[in-house]
Structure 1
Amino acid sequence: MKYLLIVADGMADYKIEALGNKTPLQYANTPNIDFLASSSIIGTAQTIPPGFPPGSDVANLSVIGYNPEVYYTGRSPIEAVSMGIKLDENDMALRCNLVTLSDEEDYSEKTMVDYSGGEISTEEAAQLIGAINKELGTEIINFYAGMSYRHVMVWKNNILDTLNLTPPHDLSEKKISDNLPKGEGSSLIYDLMVKSAAILKDHPVNLARMKKGLKPANSIWLWGEGSKLILPSIKELYNLNGSVVAAVDLVKGLGIASGLDIIDVEGATGAVETNFAGKGEAAINELKNGKDFVFVHIESPDEAGHQGDVDSKVWSIEQIDKEVIGRAVNDLDSFDKLRIMLLPDHYTPISEKTHTNDSVPFMIYDKDLRWVNESKTYDEELCENGMHFKKGHELISYFFLGTK
């Protein structure tokens, strides 16, 4: 049996008046999803356990079968794995976003204009993070450049259990004053953020961006703290060899930690616009070339949700249907046995511009089984009438083994 897991990050949403009181998934033209859904099992899964933040880290950990209550150690350590950063047991990693803040002189009075620094390029970001590390790095504090706006800071020999930091995508268009760092170590974190703004304000990269009419990445924002991640492999748990096709370090890190090969696709960005076709093709090729399991992650609908862009979210879902699901449909005859699961990791509603902890809709298609789905399609509302996995990490066992 071959297994294809497709995660459309943040695809699930609430009904939107501008779409005729439909969700983007309901509104989008998705002939390939509909084709598979007509003979699929549908349902919902609670990928965010009670008491956990509704982030992609927790959600994707659940999606690939690891109970966050057992394995979750924070977001940034997962990304650190992907970036090749070696953490000791007592080291703390933090996500370091490059963000765009408004230009008030008092840092605490600024507004979060853009959590992604205007979707800054990886090449530009590397220069900015290099400048930050040169000025603010020490023997115990170091900054590492990642992709686009997503980077990592490591604080050696210092795990702070009471540190309370807020994700920047929760603050879009909001003043940051009520969500500044709190708890043990917060004064140092805040000081680094304030100093970063002074360093980045007149950096040549930002001056050039503003000259082009682009937003400057004029501050760092630290969050997603955690300690070293250790997972049993997918091979150990299910005797499957597999690959991950993804653009973001978070998902690549989960793949590496779970023993999967990482497949990089040219033009895959982790932004709204990405190489959908390349991801679809790479996934099918991995299955054809001997892999049992391929996990495809597409960030696009999540980014559209964070931006509050309805049209982009509908478009991204349609691209996933055409270029990823469509490629699988076109290649069904290439496989004797194939099982496909599609789901978002979490909701990213347009109205909220951030993640929520609602149970996510899933569908599972099996080439050899013709399950009856009377609805003939797949969306948030219909899936509420199907199976339900109260513990989201148990869904993957059902996908692989057919047992709940």
Structure 2
Amino acid sequence: MIRTLLLIIDGLGDRPAESLGGRTPLEAAQTPNLDHLAGLGATGLMDTLSPGLALGSDVAHSLLFGYPLEAIPKRSVFETVGEGLEVSPQDVVTLAKFVTVRPAADRYEILQGGETYDEEDAKLLAEAVASFEAEGLAFSFVYTGKSRGSLFIRGGASEDVCDSDPIYPGLPVIRVEPLAEASEPVRATRTARALNAYIRWTAARLDVHAVNRRRREQGLLPANILVTKWAGRRRPLQPFSERYGMRGAMIEAAPLYVGLATELGMTPVRIPRDPDPAVEIAAKLREADRLFREGYGFVHVHTKAADEAAHHKRPDLKARAIEAIDRGLDRLVREMLPRGDLLVIVTGDHATPSVGRMIHSGESVPILMAGGYVLRDQTARFHEREAMGGGLGQIRGTDLMPVVLNLTDRMHWFRHRMAAVFVPHIPDVVTPLAPEG
């Protein structure tokens, strides 16, 4: 049986950069291994959801794995589960982080945010804002590291509220409001009021905390408010193995992907990041090879190196990160693919622009497929411009898993129902009809 290796280079797609002579970082990078794979297979472009839409990795990955948009929980759920915290179906959970603000008459002006505070200081501050009650709702903040954590809201809260974290620089802390499309407007309004009260309370409590008094005396910025984003509720998802008839694994240590794998019923495998992306990706491919020998049919290997480089708004830095990733692909090119029982897919979950002000952007991402029953095209390099003429054409992220099933000889005849719940793969087991009822 043909197995599938899906290598997602997070944030792979990009825009042409003037500093690179009008090329994208992938186009400018020297990538002999990726080019070799492109020459063995076919390339194309992919819109994970729809042209122009900038997606987060949580939504993008869920769509790539074939789960409908309306079924996907918010990123807060995946990250909280990935941190090893228990989330009940009744909980509403948001992600929360410390930032530095300056109160004004009508706003909290954000001066600094992110992973910028001493870890021990952040732990002490987290204890000071761990518990709160308002509007009959109970708030519990659990610190997870790097100046952030998960905020649980219990007692009948709604997930249909907006974020208070603006993410983009230059904007103040946002007033939490119920979503216009909230399914229960009264509950959402109560949750928004209570969450605003909690955020104001954290500002008042943290601003006078001994840790922040000391930080000011040392000339350091205080971590004097918590801001929130991505309120969500856990919901059941059909297991990957049931959906596609093969065991799946995900190799990445970041909590988002550990949680995503857990929620999809895939096996999470934590391979820690390495300062050298080549070393990291080589280690992940060794682990993927082991998982295939154990009988896994689908392994997702993930790397954040290109995405993180792009966030620095340095096209040259992103090109170097891609080159390092390419150096780590020797095992895949020289040992794994030549065995003849592997479909290799390389793509990005979304574009991360190394130019402009956007965090993620809506450009199509390049995709290549080699092995399996892939019909080879004429492309010889792997980058956005070359992929425009590739044999895969322009596909959507939701097309990926049907294409995987087809190219690995697993796809079931469409609309032929062999069970109460439709599955797209050829089943190994069916419910037989007994001669006597």
TM-score (norm 1): 0.82
149 and 54 in structure 1: CA distance in 2 versus 1, 3 angstrom threshold: farther
Aligned twin of 2:434:
none
Q: Describe the shift of the 1:149–1:333 C-alpha distance in structure 2 as closer, same or farther (beyond 3 A).
A: same
**Distance in 1 (alpha carbons) for counterparts of 2:111 and 2:16:** 26
The Cα of 1:195 is off from its aligned counterpart by 4.0
Match of 1:320, SS state, is helix
In the aligned structure 2, how far is the partner of 1:316 from the partner of 1:47?
23
1:291 lines up with 2:296 in the alignment: yes
Partner of 1:378: 382
**Alignment deviations for residues 60-101 of structure 1 (CA, whole Å, 9 cap, x no partner):** 1111221213x1232212223323433333321112234x44
Could you tell me whether the CA contact under 8 Å between 1:163 and 1:182 is conserved in 2?
yes
CA distance in 2, matches of 1:159, 1:390: 39
State which structure, 1 or 2, has the greater radius of gyration over its C-alpha atoms.
Answer: 2
CA distance in 2 between counterparts of 1:347 and 1:246 reads 19
Aligned partners of 2:253 and 2:271 also within 8 Å: yes
Aligned partner of 2:48 in structure 1 is 47
The structure-2 alpha-carbon separation of the partners of 1:50 and 1:224, relative to structure 1 and needing over 3 Å to count, comes to: farther
- Quote the offset at 1:214 in angstroms: 8.9
Report matched runs for 1:146-165 at 5 Å.
146=144, 148-149=146-147, 151-160=149-158, 162-165=160-163
Amino acid of the residue matched to residue 382 of structure 2? Y
Match of 1:304 in 2: 309
**Number of the residue aligned with 1:141:** 139
Q: 1:238 maps to what in 2?
A: 244
Task: Give the deviation of 1:59 after TM superposition.
Answer: 0.7
Do structure 1's residue 320 and structure 2's residue 325 form an aligned pair?
yes
The Cα shift of 1:28 comes to 1.6
Give distance in 2, aligned partners of 1:48 and 1:348. Answer: 15
1:362: Cα distance to partner?
Answer: 1.3
- The question of whether the paired residues in 2 share the 8 Å contact of 1:80 and 1:253 is answered with yes
**Aligned to 1:220, which of 202, 217, 226?**
226
Q: How far apart in 2 are the matches of 1:41 and 1:267?
A: 30
What residue identity is the alignment partner of 2:251? Answer: V
- CA distance 1:234–1:378, shift in 2 (3 Å): same
Q: Secondary structure at the match of 2:376?
A: coil
Inter-CA distance 246–266: structure 2 relative to 1 (3 Å threshold): closer
Structure 1 position 340 matched with structure 2 position 344: yes
Distance in 1 (CA, whole Å) between partners of 2:278 and 2:111 is 23
1:1-150 alignment runs, 5 A limit: 1-48=2-49, 54-69=55-70, 71-98=71-98, 100-101=99-100, 103=102, 108-111=107-110, 113-114=112-113, 116-118=114-116, 124=120, 127=123, 130-134=126-130, 136=132, 140-146=138-144, 148-149=146-147
Residue range with higher mean Cα deviation, 221-230 or 325-334? 325-334
* Partner residue, 2:266: 260
Displacement, 1:275? 3.7
- Contact 2:15/2:363 (8 A) holds in 1: no
Asked if 2 retains the 8 angstrom alpha-carbon contact of 1:206 and 1:218, the reply is no
The structure-2 alpha-carbon separation of the partners of 1:181 and 1:289, relative to structure 1 and needing over 3 Å to count, comes to same
What's 2:177 paired with? 182
Q: Specify the SS of the correspondent of 2:151.
A: strand
CA contact (8 A) 2:277 2:325 kept: no
Secondary structure of the equivalent of 2:87?
coil
Aligned to 2:255: 249
Give the drift of 1:199. Answer: 5.3
Distance in 2 (CA, whole Å) between partners of 1:49 and 1:128 is 44
Q: Say which SS state the counterpart of residue 143 (structure 1) adopts.
A: strand
**What is the alpha-carbon distance in structure 2 between the residues aligned to residue 401 and residue 147 of structure 1?**
42
C-alpha displacement at 1:155, in angstroms?
Answer: 0.9
When residues 159 and 311 of structure 1 are mapped into structure 2, their CA distance, relative to the original with a 3 A threshold, is: farther
Q: Number of residue pairs matched?
A: 392
Classify the secondary structure of the residue corresponding to 2:261: helix
- Alpha-carbon deviation of 1:149? 5.0
- Secondary structure, counterpart of 2:162 in structure 1: coil
Q: Does the 8 A contact of 1:389 with 1:395 survive in 2?
A: no
User: Secondary structure, in 3 states, of the residue corresponding to 1:110?
Assistant: strand
**Conserved in 2, the CA contact under 8 Å of 1:48 and 1:357?**
no
**Alpha carbon RMSD of aligned pairs, Å?**
3.7
Deviates more, 1:394-403 or 1:241-250: 394-403
CA contact (8 A) 2:122 2:147 kept: no
Q: Is the 8 A contact 2:278 2:324 kept in 1?
A: no
Residues 163-197 of structure 1 show CA distances to partners (whole Å, capped at 9, x for unaligned) of 1226654x1x32225x4433333343334334445
The one-letter code of the counterpart of 2:127 is A
Identity of aligned residues (%): 24
State the match for 1:397 in structure 2.
402
Distance 2:272 2:245 in 1: 30
> Which runs of no fewer than 5 residues in structure 1 stay unpaired?
none
CA contact (8 A) 1:126 1:146 kept: no
The residue number in structure 1 matching 2:426 is none
User: What displacement does 1:295 show?
Assistant: 0.8
CA contact (8 A) 1:163 1:181 kept: yes
Asked if the contact 1:10/1:347 (under 8 Å) is kept, the reply is: yes
- 1:203 is displaced (CA, Å) by 6.6
What SS is found at the alignment partner of 1:160? coil
Distance 1:142 1:32, change over 3 A: same
Look up the equivalent residue of 2:311 and give its one-letter code.
H
Q: Is the 8 A contact 2:130 2:142 kept in 1?
A: no
Structure 2 vs 1, CA of residues 36 and 306 (structure 1 numbering), >3 Å: closer, same or farther?
Answer: same
